Structure 1
Amino acid sequence: MTRTMPSPSAAPRALNAAPGVEARRSPLADLCADCDAVTLLPPLSPPGEGYLRHFCQLDSPLAVFDLDDTLLDGDCTGMWMRWMAACGWIEDVDAFMAIGERHQSEYHAGTLDIHEHTGHLLSPLIGRHRDEVRREVDDFVEEMVMPRLLEGGIARLAEHGEAGHRTLIISASMHHLVGPIASRLTADGALATHPAFDDQGRFTGETTGIVTFREGKLAALDAWLEDASQLKRAPQALWGYSDSHNDLPLLERVDHPHATQPDAPLRQFAEARGWPVVDWRQSHLSIESD
């Protein structure tokens, strides 16, 4: 439906706010000229002449971000492996890291056995209590992860939030890492592979639920959307950001896919499809503790 753009001189009013309360505009959102509802603008561009695509407040769009090499300059799993080594949790560090490097190469080649990888990653944690590990994860996030965030990615995450969109971080890394990072970034949730625990809350070395790798990310997202639908909060528009060709099933699922710092196969695919290609590796953002 064609909408007339509001006059630039008219101050926008915040959704459900009293007259005179101004709404913050961002490149991703504006206000409906007719009903003051938040509207979603075309991706990475100003609105077309007189056109706004209207979304009801209950249909809040959802933005899904990969973590490693998308929001983070690097791989949090590899960083965590080095952290575990520094904790003294790994007996043969050289052998352990060599396997990790092989897995990283296989990931980029599209040949990774994700079950072998998760088993390897969880092996130093077997028998350790989740609280002990969480204390180390909290320190790890503050000291290793936060200084390596990509400023452009964090700004885009914030823009989606300011536009009234929900945000999820979805990663092939383990949930005991991704969950605290997503919380630190104030995302609305995290989808990642969950480790299994015994009755005493100790790591078993196994995983439970959906393994969020390749098609598994799409399965986890679909499960999340099904839960949202049952709560009558299903988003009517999906945005997606990733750097890897391994996430093609996910990017093909969303309405607005973005290739961020893409590997060569994803770049080729994105350019062929006309997807936006962005590079957030030009600067970093360190978020200070409150």
Structure 2
Amino acid sequence: MALFDLDHTLLPIDSDYAWGVFTQDIGWTDPAVFKRRNEEFFEHYKAGTLDIHDYVRFATDAVRERGPQAASAAHEMFMDKVIRPEIRPQALALVRSHQQAGHQVAIITATNEFVTGPIARAFGIDELIAVRLARGDDGWITGEIEGVPSAREGKVRRIDEWLAAQGMGWDAAEITFYSDSTNDLALLERVDHPVATNPDARLRAIAAERGWRILDLFAHP
């Protein structure tokens, strides 16, 4: 199996942060207030101190207010204007190399399923393990998280669930996991083949110390 983090791993950008900027650009949020809070949450994410429940409420607020049809149309624009230009050939080639080898491939991300579902499909990946959004009686998202969020140690728990749903345990799979961040250290330590991919400085140092593979898909700025 090959598992991929998404933001700064398969994509050279953070899709969650970029979606927030996009909603600001199309007039769905107050520019000054949203920009300040979005950047605060992003700094917490990079520092490993993000309260994901607070963040998801904030990040889905505009989507909840606009409703499913407007949200879907906006996401199509987001894919065309922001995401597809950032899907690099070398990232696609890495995914295809695992698929062509017959490996089961999945994206596991701390970004919510609304933002990441179409992105996974653009990479040709059917299996997406993302933050699940709870839905109300009307079938639309509430801003709350359903189940275990796929963030930090929660990624290990979600892979537990995913394997169990296939009637498997960790011993039955040989897993490679690609990630850029120490936020994913728990899962990197759990898999058979951790790959520090476009790693931040902290993960690069850990990978070098432990002899993990380091893969730079994208040029450093």
Instruction: Answer whether contact 2:24 2:34 (CA < 8 A) is retained.
Output: no
Superposition TM-score, scaled by structure 1 size: 0.71
Instruction: Answer whether contact 1:151 1:280 (CA < 8 A) is retained.
Output: no
In angstroms, what is the RMSD of aligned CA positions? 1.9
Mapped pair 1:245 → 2:182: yes
Aligned match of 2:54: 116
Q: Deviations over 1:167-186 (max 9, x none)?
A: 10111111111111111211
Rounded to whole Å, the distance in 2 between the matches of 1:150 and 1:271 is 26
Aligned match of 2:12: 73
Higher helix share: 2
Rounded to whole Å, the distance in 2 between the matches of 1:209 and 1:74 is 26
Rounded to whole Å, the distance in 2 between the matches of 1:104 and 1:127 is 22
Aligned match of 1:256: 193
Instruction: Answer whether contact 1:128 1:202 (CA < 8 A) is retained.
Output: no
Aligned match of 1:89: 28
Aligned partner (choices 137, 140, 161) of residue 75 of structure 2 = 137
> Deviation of residue 276 (structure 1)?
0.6
Aligned match of 1:212: 150
Alignment of 1:1-290 (within 5 A): 62-90=1-29, 92-229=30-167, 236-282=173-219
SS of equivalent to 1:170: strand
Instruction: Answer whether contact 1:259 1:275 (CA < 8 A) is retained.
Output: yes
Letter aligned with residue 264 of structure 1 = A
Q: Deviations over 1:127-182 (max 9, x none)?
A: 44334322322231232111112332221111000001111011111111111111
Flag the structure with larger Rg. Answer: 1
5+ residue gaps, structure 2: none
Which stretch shows the higher mean deviation, 111-120 or 255-264?
111-120
> Deviation of residue 88 (structure 1)?
2.4
Which stretch shows the higher mean deviation, 190-199 or 270-279?
190-199
Moved over 3 A (4+): none
5+ residue gaps, structure 1: 1-61, 284-290
Superposition TM-score, scaled by structure 2 size: 0.92
